[in-house]
């Protein structure tokens, strides 16, 4: 474990260099007002008059203008190439919850790497916000109150089993695996209670479920 560069008792927003809109960043900052940029993500922040408290990454994507405006005291270079900039920031920030924007869309390899990081670092509570969806790693017990009919997708990042209440198609007895059974396009039929025997399940929900997800993950923690 690395000593934290940014440590907060309130949620943090991580900003990457993928697809992001000002509306998405503004929504995240309303809920998680401390901003940390991951390498080239700082350019979007500065273009929209938003100042991160820190920029973390290998600094191969930050332009000279952004580097000069931020100044050396907020630039934290992590030179190793074994992790993505998202993972570098994730491992060096401490907060009860983190929201990630700019990590989905654009390059597919970066998006998949972000999903992998969610699964790998199960001590971190992170929600990625995309244009239409939110993605997060489920704790071993998850309780959510969502509207009937809400799309509810499950994608395993490892082998696991689970149980469910409140889903149109129950998952009890299903053996999930990334190369086998997955759970795309289930639906909410009532108050949702899920349990899993391993911390490898990603949950994908419509973006309007963000606040409910935040409440659920706080409760689980």
Q: What is the pLDDT of residues 144-186, one digit of tens each?
A: 999 999 999 999 999 999 999 999 999 999 999 999 999 999 9
pLDDT of 203 reads 98
CATH of domain 141-220: 2.60.120.320
CATH of domain 6-131: 3.40.50.10240
**Bridge partners (DSSP) listed for residue 94:** 7
Q: What is the pLDDT of residues 10-23, one digit of tens each?
A: 999 999 998 899 99
Query: Tokens 């991160």 appear where?
Result: 52
**Which segments of the chain have a pLDDT < 70?**
none
* Residue 84 vs residues 39, 43, 174, 188: alpha-carbon distances, Å: 10, 18, 32, 34
Phi/psi at 43 (5° precision): -60, -45
pLDDT of 194 reads 98
Can you give the residue ranges of every domain in the chain? 6-131, 141-220
Phi/psi at 15 (5° precision): -115, 120
């Amino acid at each position: 474990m690395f000593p934290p560069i940014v440590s907060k008792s309130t949620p943090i927003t991580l900003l990457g260099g993928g697809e992001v809109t000002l509306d998405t960043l503004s929504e995240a900052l309303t809920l998680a007002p401390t901003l940390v940029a991951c390498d080239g993500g700082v350019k979007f922040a500065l273009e929209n008059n938003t100042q991160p408290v820190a920029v973390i990454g290998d600094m191969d994507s930050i332009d000279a203008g952004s580097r000069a405006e931020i100044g050396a005291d907020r630039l934290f270079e992590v030179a190793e190439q074994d992790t993505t900039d998202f993972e570098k920031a994730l491992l060096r920030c401490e907060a009860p919850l983190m929201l990630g924007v700019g990590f989905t869309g654009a390059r597919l390899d970066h998006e998949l790497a972000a999903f992998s990081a969610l699964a790998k670092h199960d001590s971190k509570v992170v929600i990625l916000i995309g244009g239409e969806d939110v993605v997060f790693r489920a704790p071993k017990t998850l309780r959510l109150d969502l509207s009937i009919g809400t799309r509810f997708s499950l994608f395993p990042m490892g082998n696991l089993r689970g149980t469910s209440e409140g889903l149109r198609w129950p998952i009890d007895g299903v053996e999930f695996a990334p190369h086998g059974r997955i759970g795309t396009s289930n639906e909410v039929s009532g108050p949702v209670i899920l349990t899993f025997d391993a911390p490898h399940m990603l949950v994908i929900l419509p973006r309007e479920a963000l606040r409910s997800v935040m409440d659920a993950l706080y409760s689980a923690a």
